[in-house]
Chains A and B, each alone.
Chain A
């Protein structure tokens, strides 16, 4: 498999996903070379704190993008509270204040769909613990665009509704626990490095 072809990672999560995300980001290799785009369900009035909490533990720089901000390798981007986050052609982000999708803004589906459209087979989509079905459609679109799909093992999830919904919506490539997600992502990074990307 040509693991070195991947250009971006999208991660979605809701209830129970935060500690998992912190662990993943904290154990990525130094100099991790892909952008990691994260859409987490969060409280809209708590604007600060999440980036700071992630930054303490995580090796890559973590930020909430502005509208039209360039996507750079090796950074972690977190969908801002009360905005939908899109990947746009031309390697930039777009934001929107459009209607809630799956009772959520940011909606994981919208982020994943836009990323699948732009990155096609060069995208890795990862869905973590959560208590609703947001992200299932997005994972299906990642799959239909020939991207790679991974869900956190429902046995390990605090709340498994979200990964299970994705598994019902499409044929997920890998069902991994947190440690295997981390080693897989680092393996992709190392393959890219060996190939000089």
Chain B
């Protein structure tokens, strides 16, 4: 089995991808990018770097599948129940103060985080006044998120996390279990727009009141993380909130001038300056 890819091979591949497809993967985090490429190569039974390069560059569907491997599925519904409890007890009261709510998920994957958010918003009575924008560079992941269909194996963890979140309903209110599938009730998607490969979103959509971006920046290198964070903090309304993963940190301009910790134990930050358009 193929276990190692040299950095120069990865650089050549990302360079060719940029030239051919205008996707910039050059600032993705090294190890995760390498593992994603290797997982893709194994799944396609490509046994050496030349074949990998050739197929990805000549065959668009291969490239799309590679992207799917790079946008890893979210691990579970209600990941970090303590975060979602903080969402309920600390974020929701702040969001209630806004007349209308715009929410942005700039780097969505297979939608477990989105469906979790929709349930949390529904239970807090906020869903009706929300507009939610969901972006992903992977069309495949975006269509998974939109379909709301997951393998039933995800249910056990879902139930456990939902209990820890101290949810008030039974999960059957949101989904149907038809083994081997879980089908979410797509009525919850009423105010959700899915947009493929658009970062940042067009200026007309800003400002946002809440941005949910947990664990997606892990897959970027330091300098891309900093740029993405600047874009996100610029896109927030004054007093708007940003959620990042509990093992991620704000770096650079955003934390030094525009944002301050709101509940940093759970990755929550608040914008303190005016939205500048």
Interface positions of A (Cβ within 8 A of B): 45, 47, 64-68, 80, 82-83, 86-89, 92, 94-99, 105, 110, 113-114, 117, 141
Contacts and interface: CB of A to CB of B under 8 A. Distances in A.
B81 A96 contact: no
Given A67-B248, A89-B30, A94-B30, 14 more contacts: A47-B82, A65-B247, A66-B249, A68-B222, A68-B225, A68-B251, A80-B247, A86-B31, A86-B32, A88-B31, A92-B222, A94-B31, A96-B29, A105-B75
Contacts of B75: 82, 97, 105
Interface in B225-271: 225, 245-249, 251
Interface residues of B, number: 30
Contact of A97 (B30, B31, B160, B218): B218
Given A83-B247, A96-B31, A67 B164 contact: no
Given A94-B218, A96-B72, A97-B72, A64 B29 contact: no
A96 B218 contact: yes
The binding surface of chain A is classed by DSSP as loop
A45 to B, nearest CB: 7
A88 B29 contact: yes
Nearest to B164: A45
A89 B7 CA distance: 10
A97 B74 contact: yes
B232 to A, nearest CB: 16
A80 B80 CA distance: 12
Contacts, number: 67
Contacts of A94: 29-32, 218
A94 B29 CA distance: 8
Closest 3 A/B residue pairs (Cβ): A86-B31, A97-B215, A98-B72
B167 interface: no
Given A45-B81, A47-B82, A67-B218, A96 B248 contact: no
B206 interface: no
A45 B81 CA distance: 8
A59 to B, nearest CB: 25
A65 B248 CA distance: 9
B217 interface: yes
- Counting chain A CB atoms within 10 Å of each CB, the highest count among B7, B32, B164, B246 belongs to B32
B179 to A, nearest CB: 21
23 contacts: A45-B81, A45-B164, A47-B246, A64-B247, A66-B249, A67-B248, A67-B249, A68-B222, A68-B225, A80-B247, A83-B247, A86-B31, A86-B32, A89-B30, A94-B32, A96-B29, A96-B219, A97-B72, A98-B72, A99-B73, A113-B3, A114-B31, A117-B4
Nearest to A45: B164
B35 interface: yes
B4 A96 contact: no
Contacts of B82: 47
Nearest to B82: A47
Contacts of B73: 99
B247 A98 contact: no
A67 B217 contact: yes
A96 to B, nearest CB: 5
A117 B30 CA distance: 11
Nearest to A96: B32
A164 B35 CA distance: 26
A113 B248 CA distance: 22
A114 B219 CA distance: 15
